[in-house]
Structure 1
Amino acid sequence: MVDPHPVGFRFRPTDEEIFNPYLKSKNMDGNTSHVDEVISTVDIYSFDPSELASQSSWTRKETDNVLYFFCPKENRYNRGERQSRKTKSGSWKKTGVTTNIMRKRGDCEKIGEKRVFVFQYSKIFGGTKLKSDWVMHEYVATFVSPTQVTFGCS
């Protein structure tokens, strides 16, 4: 069996590279087979964090501590855009502020947002939920149409 990950190769895209070519291609292109080879599409809320490594298409499971997934956006409630981020044994809770991701070259427009989540187990110990070491960085594309205002880089 041939190792699909050549020796010395490491997949670590920057925040900007997550959006273009990967997330932009996934949202706008018809043929995404080139993207699907690198990043799996998985409903991550159907799995606990410890089960996600087996769902990844691009990790050396014995060495990588970073996994990449596309997750279809589903509004889990009947009204509004709010999502439920619950799994079988806990939930993902947002921590910190949402960070704008700006294009570094050219027009420096806003291309997306990054949110950070921490996994908390449902069981309550001493009146508080038990936090885990699992952290998720969620990237949301905000592709700007030509008629909208763009933001400058600082």
Structure 2
Amino acid sequence: MMEIGYGQQPEKNEEQLPPGFRFHPTDEELITYYLLKKVLDGSFTGRAIAEIDLNKCEPWQLPEKAKMGEKEWYFFSLRDRKYPTGLRTNRATDAGYWKATGKDREIYSSRTGSLVGMKKTLVFYRGRAPKGEKTNWVMHEYRLEGKFAYHFLSRSSKCHH
């Protein structure tokens, strides 16, 4: 599951939430409620979370594919492996690639204290590695641990400096 964001765009499907309410779940809620439900029931659709193939979308195309959001957008996506028999994830698009920054962060249940998933932060670079040009697009990739680790929920955004 991934979160991606950029600029000011009118809220889509804003009528689904009462005035003043925004979709802003915690990391734990994204993993334990939305991502786990999606993995266990493929027909589950989060009201605010679209399904996309992140390798076929450039970051600047994501706002129009999102169900709602002004500065952050949420998506379900399956992991695309770089090599058929390998574990490495392919994060390339036609125009560039998503590069991990820092270490993965563990997400724990506030109720049980158990590890429920991981969060990885990525930045989009235009061009090809290692000479890609860093952009302001940031993605937070959430994944379950274990046998369901190939499912993602992402939250994306564009940072403004």
TM-score for the superposition, normalised by structure 2: 0.76
More strand by share: 2
Q: CA deviation at 1:128?
A: 4.2
Matches within 5 A, 1:58-69: 58-59=68-69, 64-69=70-75
State the match for 1:41 in structure 2. Answer: 51
1:129 has 2:132 as partner: yes
Once residues 14 and 93 of structure 2 are traced to their aligned partners in structure 1, the CA distance between those partners, rounded to angstroms, is 35
Q: CA deviation at 1:30?
A: 5.3
Q: CA deviation at 1:142?
A: 1.5
State the match for 2:114 in structure 1. Answer: 109
1:86 has 2:92 as partner: yes
Which amino acid in 2 is paired with 1:134?
Answer: W
State the match for 1:147 in structure 2. Answer: none
**Is contact 1:112–1:143 with CA below 8 Å preserved after alignment?**
no
The share of aligned pairs that are identical, in percent, is 33
Pair member with larger Rg: 1
Unmatched 5+ stretches in structure 2: 1-12, 148-161
Aligned residues: 135
TM-score for the superposition, normalised by structure 1: 0.79
Q: CA deviation at 1:143?
A: 6.1
Once residues 62 and 84 of structure 2 are traced to their aligned partners in structure 1, the CA distance between those partners, rounded to angstroms, is 27
What's the C-alpha RMSD, in Å, of the aligned pairs? 2.3
Once residues 111 and 67 of structure 1 are traced to their aligned partners in structure 2, the CA distance between those partners, rounded to angstroms, is 22
